[in-house]
Structure 1
Amino acid sequence: MPTSGDLLPPPAEAAGSHSRAGGLFQLLRDGKARTRAELALSTGLARSTVAARVDALMLSGLVGPAGEAVSSGGRPPSRFAFNPAARVVLAVDVGATHVIVAVTDLGGKVLGQRRAVLDIADGPKVVLDRVVTLGREVLAGAGRSLQELAGVGMGLPGPVEHSTGTPVKPPIMPGWDGFDVVQYIRKSLAVPVLVDNDVNIMALGERAAHWAGHNNFFFVKVATGIGAGIISSGALQRGADGTAGDLGHVRVPRGSGVLCRCGNHGCLEALASGPALAAELRGQGLDVATGADVLRLAAEGEVRAVQALRQAGRDVGDVLATVVNLLNPSVIVIGGSLGEAGDHLVAGIREVVYQRSLPLATSRLHIGVALAGASAAILGASQMVAQHVLSPAVIDATLAAAAGGV
């Protein structure tokens, strides 16, 4: 398994030396067509070296012809570009009550998708067997074979040790603690398998789809729980043990007497999550069971539901004001079932963040609602795999193995 630094390298850092095919390929990752001469000029390599590298990449299918350049006399030179359709990825979003499996190309284009209702509490073998079955079905439906599969990327609704892909004491995933997800999947699909928590995956997907120009990006999921995905200087930050971004268990000023499921008092999740808001409104005599009910009542004009969402936003804003001062993101995106539909919640967040954060840190800060919606996790899982399998080291190893097998 790659470490966190392998999953989202900035393009310039990922390229490294261009003297090998994997390094040269990084110049083509942007999709722009180039000639051998242009590649030689960019890298400083001899044209014969560039030609050999391009030939190897073309044999792999990762690079393909892209027309001809304008001739300055004589035969027009051929152009080459990255071919994202060369291989495919299985992108998997596992939620508390659902599984979505999609097949994408290496550029993140969704070629097919299947969704199933499934309880995460059924255990890892039941859920992962279903993932494999759906994966085979969606591959077949897209007209792609297992031989074209580059890897599997998966998001899980709980803490994951990023170096191994192993769930660690996930609160809503009984039977998953310490389970070797990677090896279980690889018994059926012998390709690289990368696993992360769902919020990190959503952060990758949301940024790739709508905020690619922002290298300091903060994604917040507000739903049954509250968590964040942190992208700083272009790299996804997981921390030493994969728990970076666990906003839900940061203490907020208003919650000193409120007990959280983690055993502490005053956690953000105990005040601002969907279940917390539903419980608060039930205590006021309203017929509310879930966070979705809270949103419905607010949309119908129930003042108490509107006030609860606005206050929840202020509580989230209390935490995010500190985040803004510490990390100075240029964009904060609010997602999750409560975040994407809760205009009142986002308004409360903005109110407190702009009031309490340093003026310089908020001068260009954008706070908005997630745009990728339910597709964020799929896009992120796909990108996580693509970043790994298209890295210089993996491409060089793949080409060497192919050459050795000839």
Structure 2
Amino acid sequence: MTELQRPTSPASPGAGELFQLFRNGTARTKSELCTLTGLARSTVSLRVDALLAAGLLRPAGEAASSGGRPPARIAFNPLARIVVAVDLGATHGTVAVTDLAGAILASTRSQLDIAQGPETVLRWVVETATALLAEPGAWTSPQTTAPPVVGVGIGLPGPVEHSTGRPTNPPIMPGWDRFDVPACIRQTLDVPVFIDNDVNLLALGEHALSWPDTDDLVYVKVSTGIGAGIIAGGELQRGALGAAGDIGHVQVPAGRDSRRPVHDERDLEAIASGPAIAAALREQGVEAQSSRDVASLIRSGDHAAIEAARQAGREIGEVLSVVVNLLNPSLVVLGGTVARAGEHLLAGVREVVYRRSMPLATGHLGIVTSTAGEEAGVLGAAIMVLRDALSADAIDAMTQPRTASGEASA
């Protein structure tokens, strides 16, 4: 069962709790709901009618009859509302529209520079989202308009205080520190806005797309920067203020597997990120400026680039061996521009982690390259929004009768 389908307790009588039983896509009859919840049929009918009126459920044909009139089935209607999901990296941006099941209905990906600052980048986000919402698509027809947007989710390539959505001292994002991203977006899209570190959202997306049955996973992105997203017990772990997983700023002394001088002690990001590998290659006379250049060289079979990537993997492995001993995940997933260029970075990580971590921690540990692709970030952003928008409390608020003034009645 994926994050998008995880139900809460079915015993609560509210429409919101009843709705959770439909999120895995299973159509049900009212009789089945009575059996599952222990509620009276009249109560179930009231809850179902409210969900149908809100468009969150839809008729789904008839079930097999055991005699008499066949019972009607009801199912989740993912197109009742839509989500705007955004994945921003150091040099790219993706904006997508998803339904309530997290399916991507339309998306646009462009090259951009996060260092242009929040006003420029977020203007592109809003304009791109507005254009996508205005286009005829899977969620509209000639007779209908687009359903309401329930929220916007955005991943940023730097530390984010999740409770406020403000970036905090992001090293590759000049001008973004403490910028009120949600308020900027709400000037145009007046809906709830959720912000998180991009690696956290990549971890959510990778988990949902590729490893839904794995409860303990660490996703590591190796690109312009290095960061980790931690899934423990099936839940994303952000830490007290949102800084969990910031392995890129761990100081790494030169060790057994390092080729650096003994006195060289720098951040992992300064040693093993895409730009750091590019800098090491330039010292050898190989022209490379960015993570993308490094990836191209690796794919072309350049020996120096391949060896540099493997050595970067060893350096990353030094830090991940501590992470593996501390968290005991069952899976480490490597993603990002450099990791996707081939298995050389992966080989370096495996070489060190399997040797330096405790045997109990590595007995059933998989270390693999991401398989979710470029959709993982926007899917993670959608999941972040849907956790709130489809919670039992949010559905209860959505289905409450309205007063003459438009407010929900108690």
TM-score normalised by length of structure 1: 0.91
User: CA-atom RMSD, angstroms?
Assistant: 2.3
Tell me which residue corresponds to 2:91: 97
Distance, in Å, in 2 between the alignment partners of 1:298 and 1:126 is 33
Distance, in Å, in 2 between the alignment partners of 1:217 and 1:178 is 30
Conservation of the 8 A alpha-carbon contact between 1:161 and 1:242 = yes
Amino acid at match of 2:316: V
Tell me which residue corresponds to 2:6: 11
* Deviation at residue 359 of structure 1 after TM alignment: 2.3
Conservation of the 8 A alpha-carbon contact between 2:87 and 2:378 = yes
Tell me which residue corresponds to 1:251: 251
Conservation of the 8 A alpha-carbon contact between 1:15 and 1:392 = no
Tell me which residue corresponds to 1:240: 240
**Structure 1 residue 388 and structure 2 residue 383: aligned?**
no
Distance, in Å, in 2 between the alignment partners of 1:303 and 1:157 is 30
* Deviation at residue 108 of structure 1 after TM alignment: 1.4
Conservation of the 8 A alpha-carbon contact between 2:296 and 2:341 = no
Conservation of the 8 A alpha-carbon contact between 1:9 and 1:234 = no
Distance, in Å, in 1 between the alignment partners of 2:19 and 2:176 is 38
* Deviation at residue 147 of structure 1 after TM alignment: 5.1
Conservation of the 8 A alpha-carbon contact between 1:112 and 1:142 = no
Residues 401 and 323 of structure 1: is their aligned pair in 2 closer, same or farther, counting only changes over 3 Å? farther
**What secondary structure is seen at the aligned counterpart in 1 of 2:83?**
strand
Q: 1:63 aligns with which of 57, 61, 66?
A: 57
Tell me which residue corresponds to 2:193: 193
Amino acid at match of 1:339: A
* Deviation at residue 254 of structure 1 after TM alignment: 1.9
Residues 94 and 298 of structure 1: is their aligned pair in 2 closer, same or farther, counting only changes over 3 Å? closer
Conservation of the 8 A alpha-carbon contact between 1:90 and 1:135 = yes
Tell me which residue corresponds to 1:343: 343
**What secondary structure is seen at the aligned counterpart in 1 of 2:93?**
strand
Distance, in Å, in 2 between the alignment partners of 1:252 and 1:168 is 23
Conservation of the 8 A alpha-carbon contact between 1:37 and 1:47 = yes
* Deviation at residue 156 of structure 1 after TM alignment: 1.0
Residues 318-397 of structure 1 mapped to structure 2, 5 A cutoff: 318-397=318-397
* Deviation at residue 41 of structure 1 after TM alignment: 1.1
**What secondary structure is seen at the aligned counterpart in 1 of 2:44?**
helix
Q: 1:43 aligns with which of 9, 21, 37?
A: 37
Distance, in Å, in 1 between the alignment partners of 2:226 and 2:382 is 23
Residues 358 and 10 of structure 1: is their aligned pair in 2 closer, same or farther, counting only changes over 3 Å? farther
Q: 2:134 aligns with which of 126, 133, 140?
A: 140
**Structure 1 residue 115 and structure 2 residue 109: aligned?**
yes
Distance, in Å, in 2 between the alignment partners of 1:129 and 1:289 is 28
Tell me which residue corresponds to 2:78: 84
Amino acid at match of 2:244: A
Tell me which residue corresponds to 1:24: 18
Instruction: Spell out, residue by residue over 1:232-257, the C-alpha distance to the aligned partner (whole angstroms, 9 max, x if none).
Output: 11111111111100111123342799
Amino acid at match of 2:156: L
Instruction: Spell out, residue by residue over 1:152-180, the C-alpha distance to the aligned partner (whole angstroms, 9 max, x if none).
Output: 11111111110111111112222211111
Residues 270-285 of structure 1 mapped to structure 2, 5 A cutoff: 270-285=270-285
Distance, in Å, in 2 between the alignment partners of 1:186 and 1:84 is 24
* Deviation at residue 16 of structure 1 after TM alignment: 6.8
Conservation of the 8 A alpha-carbon contact between 1:200 and 1:236 = yes
Residues 133 and 291 of structure 1: is their aligned pair in 2 closer, same or farther, counting only changes over 3 Å? closer
Residues 123 and 300 of structure 1: is their aligned pair in 2 closer, same or farther, counting only changes over 3 Å? closer
Distance, in Å, in 1 between the alignment partners of 2:32 and 2:126 is 43
Conservation of the 8 A alpha-carbon contact between 1:111 and 1:142 = no
TM-score normalised by length of structure 2: 0.90
Amino acid at match of 1:38: E
Q: Post-superposition, which runs of at least 4 consecutive aligned residues in structure 1 deviate over 6 A?
A: 255-259
Instruction: Spell out, residue by residue over 1:178-219, the C-alpha distance to the aligned partner (whole angstroms, 9 max, x if none).
Output: 111111211211111111111111111111111111111111
Tell me which residue corresponds to 1:3: none
Amino acid at match of 2:155: G
Residues 90-239 of structure 1 mapped to structure 2, 5 A cutoff: 90-143=84-137, 144=140, 145=145, 148-239=148-239
Residues 74 and 366 of structure 1: is their aligned pair in 2 closer, same or farther, counting only changes over 3 Å? same
Amino acid at match of 2:206: E
Conservation of the 8 A alpha-carbon contact between 2:33 and 2:44 = yes
* Deviation at residue 95 of structure 1 after TM alignment: 2.2
Tell me which residue corresponds to 1:267: 267
More divergent stretch after superposition (264-273 vs 318-327): 264-273
Residues 308 and 370 of structure 1: is their aligned pair in 2 closer, same or farther, counting only changes over 3 Å? same
Instruction: Spell out, residue by residue over 1:260-317, the C-alpha distance to the aligned partner (whole angstroms, 9 max, x if none).
Output: xxxx933211211111111112212222222333333333433322221111111111
Conservation of the 8 A alpha-carbon contact between 1:10 and 1:234 = no
Amino acid at match of 2:277: L
Residues 269 and 395 of structure 1: is their aligned pair in 2 closer, same or farther, counting only changes over 3 Å? same
**What secondary structure is seen at the aligned counterpart in 1 of 2:265?**
coil
Residues 245 and 9 of structure 1: is their aligned pair in 2 closer, same or farther, counting only changes over 3 Å? farther
Conservation of the 8 A alpha-carbon contact between 1:9 and 1:235 = no
Larger helix proportion of the pair: 1
Distance, in Å, in 2 between the alignment partners of 1:169 and 1:368 is 31
Residues 401 and 51 of structure 1: is their aligned pair in 2 closer, same or farther, counting only changes over 3 Å? closer
